Amino acid sequence: MTGTTSKFIDSLQRSWLLKLAWVLAPFAPMLVVATSKHSPERWAGWLSSAMLLVVFGSLAASYAFALIERRQRRARLRALSPLQRLQMSDEANLAPLGETLRVTDHPAIETLPRVVQWAIAALGAPLPKPLSAVVVALDLSIFVLLLAMVFLNDPMGQLSRRLGAPLLPYWPIFIALFAGLVALRLIERLSSMNRYYIAQAATSGRRPFPAL
């Protein structure tokens, strides 16, 4: 493996932007199905093809990064004694992309820009229990609504007929719900980071968010 490739993976593993953007990863299949089923006919073909290209490109990148990471692990294993190598043999298996890029690891607080530290401190602050329960229920409700919009045939037409209301546009509502769900998941990630940095600061005796 070249040093450039290793440095590139290391930079991805340290990237705070990637760790926050990773909340979008689970929704890729949902977007593929939505674009293929509910886009206008003149757009559906190339939109679904583009989404499939993104998904399969991501899978290919996942496999490539996993292979590179496995080569790194094997190189580390070769430097160990035979007994240590036997104890750590499972470490050389292929790992999921998220694990390879360490998206759940928290970057050092000093490396985060001031605006990100503010977002973690303000938007990720603990909520009162009743409000926290409301947020969880809202997250689940939006997710179920999005699944219905993705997999039902003519969901807006069915809703219009049941309510006797005018037909609502599909994509503006889908985009609004999708953006709301992503925002909730992003806040959840910020909350996790908030808890981590506050706990870390409590043990070290320093301020949790030094840029603020």
- Domain parsing of the chain, residue ranges: 1-105, 107-212
For the segment 135-151, the average pLDDT, to the nearest whole number, is: 92
Q: Please state the separation of Cα 53 from the chain's center in Å.
A: 19
Task: Report yes or no: 100 and 66 within 8 Å, Cβ to Cβ.
Answer: yes
- Rounded CA-CA distance 207/5 in Å is 35
Whole-number Å distance between alpha carbons of 133 and 127: 9
Q: What does the pLDDT read at residue 119?
A: 92
81-135 pLDDT tens trace: 666 656 555 554 556 666 667 778 888 888 888 999 999 999 888 888 888 899 9
87 against 145, higher pLDDT: 145
pLDDT at 115: 92
Higher pLDDT, 137 or 164: 137
Average pLDDT over residues 175-181: 93
pLDDT classification of 51: cutoffs 50, 70, 90:
low
Q: How confident is the model at residue 177 (pLDDT cuts 50, 70, 90)?
A: very high
Report the chain's mean pLDDT, rounded to a whole number: 79
The predicted structure's pLDDT at residue 95: 60
Position 178 confidence tier, pLDDT thresholds 50, 70, 90: very high
Neighbours of 117 (CB within 10 A): 19
| pLDDT computed for residue 212 by the predictor | 80
Q: Tell me the percentage of the chain whose pLDDT exceeds 90.
A: 21
Task: Provide the whole-model pTM.
Answer: 0.74
Rounded Cα distance, 76 and 18, in Å:
26
pLDDT value at residue 194: 92
Question: Using CA atoms, how far apart are residues 30 and 97, in angstroms rounded to an integer?
Answer: 19
Q: Output the pLDDT for position 183.
A: 92
